[in-house]
Amino acid sequence: MIVAEISRAEIRELIVLRVGASRAPKKLRVITDMTDFFGVDYDDVALLGGEPYFIRGNEREGRFGIEEQPKFWVKRAIDLRTGELKILKLVFHERFSARVGGIVFEFMRSPRKEANILRLVRGHPNFMQGFAVEDRAGNVIRVIDHIPGRKLHEVVPELGDSHEGYFYSHFPALFEDYIGLVRAIRFLHMHMSKHGDIRRDHLIRERESGLWRWIDFDLNYVHRENFFGYDLFGLGNVLAYITGRGDVTTKELKEHNPRLFEQILEEDLNIIFGYRVMNLRKVYPYIPLALNRVLLHFSQGANAFYDTTDQLLDDLEEARSKLLNA
Binding-site ranges for another protein (CB under 8 A)? 93, 95, 100-103, 106, 108-113, 192, 220-227, 229-230, 233, 271-272, 298, 300, 302, 305, 307
What CA–CA distance (Å, rounded) separates 45 from 26?
A: 13
Q: For residue 299, give the nearest of 248, 246, 226 by alpha carbon.
A: 248
Q: Which amino acid is at 270?
A: N
Q: Is the dihedral of CA 266, 267, 270, 271 positive or negative?
A: positive
Q: Which amino acid is at 12?
A: R
Residue 30 or 222 having the CB closest to another protein = 222
Residue 260 or 302 having the CB closest to another protein = 302
Residue 103 bridge partners (DSSP): 100
What CA–CA distance (Å, rounded) separates 56 from 58?
A: 7
Residue 214 or 228 having the CB closest to another protein = 228
HSE-CB at 226 with a 13 A cutoff on CA atoms is 11
What minimum distance in Å lies between the beta carbon of 21 and another protein?
42
Nearest 10 degrees: CA dihedral of 323, 207, 127, 152? -50
147 and 125 Cβ atoms separated by less than 8 Å: no
Residue 117 or 156 having the CB closest to another protein = 117
What minimum distance in Å lies between the beta carbon of 228 and another protein?
8
Residue 36 or 106 having the CB closest to another protein = 106
Residue 42 or 96 having the CB closest to another protein = 96
Residue 130 bridge partners (DSSP): 144
Element (H, E) at 59: strand 51-63
What minimum distance in Å lies between the beta carbon of 299 and another protein?
10
What minimum distance in Å lies between the beta carbon of 218 and another protein?
9
What minimum distance in Å lies between the beta carbon of 189 and another protein?
9
What minimum distance in Å lies between the beta carbon of 233 and another protein?
6
Residue 322: how many other CB atoms lie within 10 Å: 14
